Amino acid sequence: MPDMSAAAALAAASATSSGPRAITAYGSAAEIEAQIGAAFGGAAPGLVLIFASDGSLIAPLTGALAARFGPGCRVVGCSSAGEFAFGRYDNRGAVAIAFPAAHFEGEAVWLRRLRDHAALDWMATLRAASTRVPDRPGRVRFGILLIDGLSKREELVTATVEATLPGVLVLGGSAGDGLRFGRTHLAIDGESCPESAILCLMSTDFRIEEVVFDHFTPSDLRMVVTEALPDERLILEINAEPAAEEYARMIGLPVADLGPRAFAENPLLVRIGRRHFVRAIVEVTEDGGLRMMSAVDEGVMMTLGRAEDLTDGLEARLAQMDGPAALILGFDCILRRIALEQAGLQDTVGRIFRDYGIAGFNTYGEQHGGIHVNQTFVGLAFLQGEDGDAAQL
C-alpha cells in the first residue's frame, strides 16, 4: 500500500485555494473514509465526488461520508476503470474531490430506468432540479453527469440533459468496472441504483472552462456501416463485408490480432458538423462483428483514425486556458490510458496532471456538448484569480 503521507500531500497541494480540492486515499472502506474526512473536514464541502475501481466501496463510502459531513453536503460516487489525482493513473484506492459550500451549491438527482428509455421522467427530474438551482447574477451553473457505462444509453441520456438544460455546461463520464466490463456502481449518500445516471447540477462563483482533447486525425480510409444493431452497439457489416474482417483488412492486421491495443491505436471516427468524434471498439464478437462503446447506425460513413502524440496536444490545450485552474475535474477514457501505458508515457501524463491540477477517473465513455464520445479527455476547469480565490465572473 502507498505511504499515507502521499494522500496527505495531495490534499495539501489542492488546498492552496478556496476552490475544489482532491485526495487519493488507500486501504479499507473505513480507512479511506477516515482519510477523506480528515482531509476535507475543514473545507465544509457542499459536494464530494468519489471515484474507485473497486465498485463495492462506492455505496459504503458515500453513505459514511454523507453522515460525517452532514445534510448540507451531497456525496456522489461511481466505480471507474482507474483514477488519478495530480499524478499517474491508479486503481488501488479511491479519489475524492470536495467542492466547498462557500463557493459551490446545488444538488444531485437520479435519472433512473435507463434501459426503459424513460426520457420524459428524466426531463421532469431535470426541470425540477433546475428550479431549485436557478441562475443567479454573479454565478454560473454547470452539470456533472455520471452514467452507468454498461447501460448502452449514454447517447439518449446526454441528449436529454442537453435538451432540458440548454445553456448549462454539462460534462461527464461513464462509470466503469476496470477492464472486466461486468457491473458498474453509482451512489448518492449511500443509496445505490442499478442502470441509472446521476446529474449534479451546481452553481458557483468560479469561472469555468471546458477542456476537450483527443489525439486522432481522420485518415483517407473511409467505410460505410452496411449492417448494425445500434441499440446493442454492434456493427455487423462494413462495406458489405463481415465487420471484423473488413476492419482488420483496413488496418493491416489479421483478425486474430485484434484486441485492446489495436482498437486503441485505430479507432473509427464519425463526422458531426465540422468535427470528428471517436467511436471506440470494445471487442470482436463470436460472429465476426464489432462491439462498440457508442451506438453506430446503419448507413453511417466512418473514417479510420490515425493517432498523433498522446500528450503534447493535451498539454498545449491546457496551456491555452484562460488563467490558472484551482482544479480540473477530468474524465479520461480507459482506451487512452491503455495507449499511454503501452507507449510508456505514464510519468509524462502524471506530470501533466500534477502541473495542471487534474483529478478524476478513467471512463467507459465521455460526455460533452450533448454528445457521447470515446478515447477523449474531457475536463472542467475551475479558474482561480491571482489571490487563489475564485476568478471573478
Q: Is the pLDDT of residue 168 over 60?
A: yes
Average pLDDT rounded to a whole number, residues 181-188 = 96
DSSP string, 86-118: SSS-B-SSEEEEEEETTTEEEEEEEE--GGGT-
pLDDT digits (tens, 9 = 90+) for 19-43: 999 999 999 999 999 999 999 988 8
Q: What is the pTM of this model?
A: 0.91
Average pLDDT rounded to a whole number, residues 306-313 = 88
- Domain ranges in the chain are 4-213+312-383, 217-306
Model confidence at 373, pLDDT cuts 50, 70, 90, reads very high
Q: pLDDT at position 171, please?
A: 98
pLDDT digits (tens, 9 = 90+) for 197-225: 999 999 999 999 999 999 888 999 999 99
Average pLDDT rounded to a whole number, residues 356-360 = 98
Model confidence at 385, pLDDT cuts 50, 70, 90, reads low
Q: Is the pLDDT of residue 229 over 50?
A: yes
Q: Is the pLDDT of residue 393 over 60?
A: no
Average pLDDT rounded to a whole number, residues 378-391 = 74
Model confidence at 16, pLDDT cuts 50, 70, 90, reads very low
Q: pLDDT at position 10, please?
A: 44
The answer to whether 211 and 368 have CB atoms below 8 angstroms apart is: no
Beta bridge pairs of residue 363: 333
Q: pLDDT at position 9, please?
A: 41
Cα dist from 206 to 214, 369, 379, 384, whole Å? 26, 20, 15, 7
> Phi and psi dihedrals of 84, rounded to 5?
-155, 145
Q: pLDDT at position 305, please?
A: 92
Q: What is the mean pLDDT of the chain?
A: 92
Average pLDDT rounded to a whole number, residues 103-122 = 96
Amino acid at 335: L
Average pLDDT rounded to a whole number, residues 291-302 = 95
The answer to whether 330 and 378 have CB atoms below 8 angstroms apart is: yes
Average pLDDT rounded to a whole number, residues 175-200 = 96
